[in-house]
Amino acid sequence: MPTVFVKPNDKKRQYSRVQHLSAIEMPAWLSFMAKAQGDSLIVDMEAEDLDEMGLILRLKDFAVDEVVLLATGSHPSAHIQQSEAADRLKKGVEAIFAVPVRVENRLYFDPTLMGVIPYDKLPVKLYRAHNWHSWGRPDRSYGVTFSSISCPFKCDFCCVKDFYHSDYRQRDPRLVVEDVKALVAKGVTNIKMMDELFAIDNKGTRAVCELLKAEGLGELINIWAYARIDTVSASLLKSLRGAGVRWLAYGIESGNEAIRAGTMKGKFTNAHVQSVIQMTKDHDISIVGNYMFGFWEDGIASMRETLDLAKALNCEYSNFYCMSVYPGSRLYDEMKSRGVALPLTSEEFAQMSPNFKPVPTKTLDGRFVMAFRDAAFNEYFRDPGYLAMMGARFGAKAVEEIKAMTSIEIR
């Protein structure tokens, strides 16, 4: 009798009216767990768009020995949001089937030792890239690979080490290339490098880039990966682009240098940020700028600094978030000690949910911060200069998609 590994589907609660713009990502960790189990199968509720009853109907087709629910999404912080959905599923499945149901919301194995990702256990054709990742591409096919786990840095608001139960570890670069070959053979060319930080100048990243280029994959694939302002150079960017990295996501976070330095995100100046962003563009790599409003020291003026910096950088895509305070981060302990009422449920953590609970700053109510974030999103993406740049880079179709995106009312 098989063990059934399940990825919960909490898409509607987390993304509300914009879920069609988000990615549906391969659960790589789940596929490793299923492979290690031997007699097993995967039900990806998100990819198949199943609700709780849909899962129960699927399970009726199998003589199930055990059900394992992995509560993690496209980023380790998502396990905070997915845990509640997994707990609900656990109760529903146990009420109908007399089998043990186990919920996992952290990794308790080292995926750097697990070989090639077993894609054949996954419904490959059902995954889709983010809307921005596929701009200028023929489809939204989507796959994942990784070259490392955890992160060599320690940002105050981050909880990734709590998820991985591990410090930074690198994978054999040859396995990354085998993953990419397998995805391309299945017709998948839009790929996420799942590393918390891939664009860092070390032997592992350099080796991955050299191998992908040597295999002739660089011009076929469209990789996006995470980067930091203080970890890239012109030489590294050239290697990344040659390997098929066409998008880098930079955590810029704040336009106020003092606030940014206070989060341990880096002591780089805005001038340094501008220099690296321009250098990235010069290497024909598009950019996702990530920004947050609602740091404890944030006020109206500093949040405006962040938006003004974002507009000046004019990245091809920008994410604007309210500050999230996740259990397992240093910031969570600090905010608790200040007596701040923090989110408790998965929907209160989900940025696009109608029940999202934004945290306050020292001087601003959380709902004011959320209103500023929403206004910032529209100001950025409706800017004529931005739209003109995007038309020149990706064509009229991308511009129309952006206009449609900004027409969606977030409730």
Q: Where are the domains of the chain?
A: 3-104, 128-406
CATH topology of domain 128-406: TIM Barrel (3.20.20)
pLDDT at 87: 83
Note the pLDDT tens digit of each residue in 4-16. 999 988 777 777 7
Q: What is the dihedral angle through the alpha carbons of 155, 30, 84, 123, rounded to the nearest 10 degrees?
A: 120
For the cut 80, the answer to whether the pLDDT of residue 216 exceeds it is: yes
For the cut 80, the answer to whether the pLDDT of residue 389 exceeds it is: yes
**Mean pLDDT calculated for residue range 246-271:** 87
Report how far apart, in Å, the C-alpha atoms of 280 and of each of 191, 197, 294 are.
19, 16, 28
Note the pLDDT tens digit of each residue in 156-197. 656 677 777 788 899 999 999 999 999 999 999 999 999 999
For the cut 70, the answer to whether the pLDDT of residue 366 exceeds it is: yes
For the cut 80, the answer to whether the pLDDT of residue 131 exceeds it is: yes
Yes or no: say if 302 and 273 are a contact pair by the CB < 8 Å rule.
no
Determine the residue type at 98: A
Residue 266 gets the label, from left (phi > 0), alpha (psi -120 to 50) or beta, of left
pLDDT at 344: 85
178-181 contacts, C-beta under 8 A, 24 or more apart: 178/116, 179/116, 179/117, 179/119, 179/143, 179/145, 180/145, 180/212, 180/217, 180/221, 181/215, 181/217
pLDDT at 76: 54
Q: What is the DSSP string of 86-127?
A: HHHHHHHHHHH--S-EEEE-S--S-GGGS-S--GGGS-GGG-
pLDDT at 353: 83
Determine the residue type at 37: Q
- The residue with greater pLDDT, 340 or 263, is 340
> Of the ranges 59-68, 78-87, 214-223, 335-344, which is most confident?
214-223
For the cut 80, the answer to whether the pLDDT of residue 265 exceeds it is: no
Residue 72 pLDDT level (bands cut at 50, 70, 90)? low
**Mean pLDDT calculated for residue range 299-306:** 98
Q: Which of 123-137, 211-225, 317-331 has the lowest mean pLDDT?
A: 317-331
**Mean pLDDT calculated for residue range 28-52:** 91
**Mean pLDDT calculated for residue range 375-384:** 97
pTM of the model: 0.92
**Torsion sign (Cα): 115, 118, 124, 126:** negative
86: number of CA atoms within 13 Å, CB side? 23
For the cut 60, the answer to whether the pLDDT of residue 139 exceeds it is: yes
CA-to-CA distance for 23 and 26, rounded, in angstroms? 9
Residues across the chain: 411
**Mean pLDDT calculated for residue range 220-248:** 97
Distance of alpha carbon 217 from its chain centroid, rounded? 23
pLDDT at 104: 83
Helix and strand numbers (H, E) in the chain are 17, 12
Q: Are strands 190-193 and 169-170 parallel, antiparallel or unpaired?
A: unpaired
- The residue with greater pLDDT, 302 or 64, is 302
Non-local (6+) Cβ contacts of 102 within 8 A are: 66, 67, 68, 69
Q: How far apart are the first and last CA of the chain?
A: 45
**Mean pLDDT calculated for residue range 307-331:** 92
Residue 378 pLDDT level (bands cut at 50, 70, 90)? very high
pLDDT at 244: 98
Yes or no: say if 147 and 176 are a contact pair by the CB < 8 Å rule.
yes
